[in-house]
Amino acid sequence: MDRSGDAGFGGAQFDPDAVLWVRGVDYLTGWRDATRAADELADALSAAGVEAAGAKLRAGTDTDGSGVVRFELSPTTTRRVAGLVRAAASRGRNAG
């Protein structure tokens, strides 16, 4: 699972000129939250048997500083995740 950062948030490749900064907005808290959420999703996908090579998760922030996670999938991985979501939804309906 690729957990690379979005443009301007790529760790060692950080480029402050690649993003627009607004004075007073706490981008770091949103980015940290998004990073934790991306890690949680990556772990869940891995536990479900989703192939890591087919998915990319990117933590970033929105213009207001809130965290966002961008989730890119190959078509094959998208179909696999869709099947897992359908199965979970079906189990949820049958349990209730």
What Cα–Cα distance (Å) separates residue 85 from each residue in 13, 42, 60, 78, 89? 34, 15, 25, 10, 6
Task: Output the tens digit of pLDDT for each of the chain's 96 residues.
Answer: 555 544 444 445 556 556 677 788 899 999 999 999 999 999 999 999 998 888 899 999 998 999 999 999 999 999 999 999 999 999 888 876
Domain parsing of the chain, residue ranges: 11-95
Say whether 21 sits in a helix, a strand or coil. coil
State the Cα–Cα distance between residues 33 and 13, nearest whole angstrom. Answer: 20
Would the pTM count as exceeding 0.85?
no
